[in-house]
Structure 1
Amino acid sequence: MTQAVPARQPRTRTRNRRGEGGRLREEIIVAAAALLDETGDQHAVTLRSVARRAGIATPSIYPHFPDQPAIMLAVVRREFAGLERRLASVVQEAGDNPRRRLLAVCGTYLDFAEQHPQRYRTMFGGLWTPTLGDNSLSETDLTLLGAQSMLILVEALGACAAAGMTTSDDVPADATALWVGLHGLAHQRIVSPSYPWPKDISERVILSLARLEAA
């Protein structure tokens, strides 16, 4: 059951200068994401609640978003973009060792889900499912959501295969299996926090599904 969240007083907001409409759009998305974090309920993200959180009048939303589903879709797109940036960053930081890069990508993915559980569930349909045709959303749009993150995972596993660090003989298929395992673990840890998860459960999932050779 969703816990009641104390009402927040609307914050005082400085009016945007001419040409800064993009800033207001971003503030609306940030406000919606914050409400989602606090409530874990997409129904709590209404035009009125978002406007109140952003410190604006509800009609100020309409030049940027026609309705609540459009705001939710913008939140999902923003979070996928943020996840992709984090994964790309750890690939650079991990250096030239393919095994280290793959483990860093997988660990960062799981960390993202743990740090932003409600956003993560929303990204993958756990709290909100977009409807094709709404807000010009096509099946291609849905396919592209998260595509770059998946490509980063495929490339990381492929580098391990090229270096002889994994027994994978079908990198795209094994990367998909690895993602399914990561997603399953991330989701279950969110919805079953009291389960006595083994301390090394992440390593067990990653090493097994990536078919990594012993270090």
Structure 2
Amino acid sequence: MHDDEGLRARLIRIGGELVDRDGPSAVSLREIARSAGVSHGAPRRYFPTHLELLSAIAREGYADLTAAANAALADTSGAPRARIATLAHMYLDFAATHRGRYELMFRHDLLASDHLRLRDTSLPLFQLLTGLVAQARPQSHPPAEVVAGALWANLHGIAQLSQWGSLPLATGTAEPDALLDAALAAHLGPAA
């Protein structure tokens, strides 16, 4: 059983590496098996469909993103806005360094299929952001959940448009810090 658990984890890890390198659409069960050094049928013992393996890779991506957020915030104390900025920087960095996995984590077909309860995996990170927004804007209207959702959508847009190379063309800057500062000001108000 231990070997089986090790192979399952290895398939997810190798799948994640391939997704980051080649993109989600270029990765197949057969390619993951070949890269893991196992028979092409071995992944099917754990993942009967390609969608289930991609869901497992996405779930691992959420776990990695949450761990990175917790580590970043553990090193940051102070005002909620500064903590939100730290979280936002980490999010954009994760998106840039794990491009394929990041894309996979937000694929509608994976989230809608509810393999491995991906929506549940992503919610704690959103709740963390919502809590920080509530601290930064205790008497806010709209509610903290709406402001956090708008900020997250903005961050997601910055990440995607940066990856596509669209932001430098439209804004004249490739500096994500300037865009991040503008997003924080738009959603949280001017910095004190």
TM-score by length of 2: 0.86
Q: 1:94 to 1:73 in 2, by over 3 A?
A: same
Matching of residue 24 in structure 1 with residue 2 in structure 2: no
Contact 1:45–1:68 (Cα < 8 Å) also in 2: no
1:132 deviates by 4.9
Matching of residue 34 in structure 1 with residue 17 in structure 2: yes
Contact 1:106–1:206 (Cα < 8 Å) also in 2: no
Q: Which has the larger radius of gyration?
A: 1
Letter in 2 for 1:114: A
State which of 109, 130, 154 in structure 2 corresponds to 1:129: 109
What is the percentage of aligned positions where both structures have the same residue? 25
Question: Which structure: greater helix fraction?
Answer: 2
Aligned to 2:191: 214
State which of 151, 172, 181 in structure 1 corresponds to 2:145: 172
- Separation of aligned partners in 1, 2:119 and 2:9: 24
Letter in 2 for 1:110: L
Q: 1:26 to 1:175 in 2, by over 3 A?
A: same
State which of 78, 81, 100 in structure 2 corresponds to 1:96: 78
Aligned to 1:183: 156
The count of residues paired between Structure 1 and Structure 2 equals: 186
- Separation of aligned partners in 1, 2:120 and 2:111: 15
- Separation of aligned partners in 1, 2:32 and 2:79: 44
- Separation of aligned partners in 1, 2:56 and 2:13: 10
1:97 deviates by 2.5
- Separation of aligned partners in 2, 1:131 and 1:148: 15
Contact 1:87–1:105 (Cα < 8 Å) also in 2: yes
1:83 deviates by 0.6
Name stretches of at least 5 consecutive residues in structure 1 with no aligned partner.
1-17
- SS of corresponding position for 2:109: coil
Name stretches of at least 5 consecutive residues in structure 2 with no aligned partner.
none
TM-score by length of 1: 0.78
Q: 1:108 to 1:74 in 2, by over 3 A?
A: same
- Separation of aligned partners in 1, 2:154 and 2:111: 26
Matching of residue 146 in structure 1 with residue 93 in structure 2: no
Letter in 2 for 1:188: L
Letter in 2 for 1:80: Y
Aligned to 1:161: 137
1:201 deviates by 1.4
1:49 deviates by 0.6
Give the alignment's Cα RMSD to 1 decimal. 2.2
Q: 1:132 to 1:203 in 2, by over 3 A?
A: closer
Aligned to 1:192: 165
Matching of residue 109 in structure 1 with residue 91 in structure 2: yes
Letter in 1 for 2:134: G
Aligned to 1:57: 39
1:116 deviates by 1.1
Contact 2:136–2:188 (Cα < 8 Å) also in 1: no
